[in-house]
Amino acid sequence: MENLYIIIPAYNEEENIQTVAKEWHEVVQNISRDSRLVIINDGSRDRTYDILCQLQKELPQLIALTKPNSGHGATLLHGYHYALDHNADYIFQTDSDGQTLPEEFSEFWKLRHHYSAIIGHRNHRQDGISRIFVTKVLKLVLFAIFKTSIPDANTPYRLMSHSLLEKYIENVPRGFNLSNVMLSVLFVHNKEAVVFLPITFRPRQGGINSINLKKITKIGLKAVQDFLIIRKSL
């Protein structure tokens, strides 16, 4: 029977983490007993990890990991490597802020034998005009650098096969801030079997977003430099 590892990074999400963990735990339970929900605490300064440790007692397929703070992209890579090392057949990633809907996952799972990656497209996102603007700018930057048109390269709602992720993960530099973006570029640039599906993207369900426009700009400028270096290797 196929198994699924859901990877969720978490940083200062004590207001959301219990609801998010319970909702996504139900998804892995419905897939198989060997499936796991892996939530990685990225050096939170609140009670996120303490809550996760308590939740493990009632959610048998939840794995709570913790590590020093290194940022969203590096935490994703940590989780992806964990899933590959534990022989996950499929790896799904979403975030811990409650903006995505577990009930939309079934459509992704149904397509797993038809595509190597199914990635969400936030075509009606509800998290503010500044975030929409950043997504549009990113799309233009990726087209300018890689000559590749990607609807939504950074969506935190993606299902990937073990073989596809294993094939490309080493091409993403360790600690890279926009690891999902780079993976999307590699998949599309190399003409892998990828499809983008529209998803709901709600406002943050609680807590404060740790990434503001100033931080996004700084990350974006550094990413452009990295993209130019990576392009030479393609």
Look at strands 36-42 and 62-67 and give their pairing. parallel
Structure tokens at 126: 């509800």
A 10 A CB-CB count for 211 gives 13
Please count the residues of the chain: 234
Please provide residue 42's backbone torsions phi and psi, each rounded to the nearest 5 degrees: -95, 65
Indicate the average pLDDT of the chain: 90
Environment class of 108 (CB within 10 Å of its CB; exposed 0-12, middle 13-18, buried 19+)? buried
Mean pLDDT computed over 133-140? 80
Cα–Cα–Cα angle for 63, 67, 227, rounded to 5 degrees: 105
Grade residue 144 by pLDDT with cuts at 50, 70 and 90. confident
Does an H or E element contain 117, and which? strand 117-121
Whole-number pLDDT of residue 162: 98
Place of tokens 């459509």: 107
Q: Contact, 123 vs 61, CB < 8 A?
A: no
Q: Which of 141, 86, 153 is nearest to 117 (CA)?
A: 153
Grade residue 234 by pLDDT with cuts at 50, 70 and 90. confident
Percent of the chain with pLDDT over 90: 70
Environment class of 127 (CB within 10 Å of its CB; exposed 0-12, middle 13-18, buried 19+)? middle
Q: Which of 104, 108, 230 is nearest to 179 (CA)?
A: 230
Q: Which of 116, 82, 188 is nearest to 108 (CA)?
A: 116
Assign residue 35 a region (left: φ > 0; alpha: ψ between -120 and 50; beta: otherwise): beta
Count of domains in the chain? 1
User: What's the pTM?
Assistant: 0.91
pLDDT digits (tens, 9 = 90+) for 53-89: 999 999 999 999 999 999 999 999 999 999 999 999 9
CA 89 – CA 98 distance, rounded (Å): 25
- Better-scored residue on pLDDT, 220 or 106: 106
pLDDT digits (tens, 9 = 90+) for 182-222: 999 999 999 999 999 999 988 766 656 555 556 666 666 77
Q: Contact, 142 vs 220, CB < 8 A?
A: no
Environment class of 122 (CB within 10 Å of its CB; exposed 0-12, middle 13-18, buried 19+)? buried
CA atoms within 13 Å, Cβ hemisphere of 90: 23
Question: 174 in helix, strand or coil?
Answer: coil
CA atoms within 13 Å, Cβ hemisphere of 80: 27
Instruction: Write the CATH number for 31.
Output: 3.90.550.10
Whole-number pLDDT of residue 216: 61
CA 209 – CA 53 distance, rounded (Å): 23
> What range defines the domain where residue 102 resides?
4-231
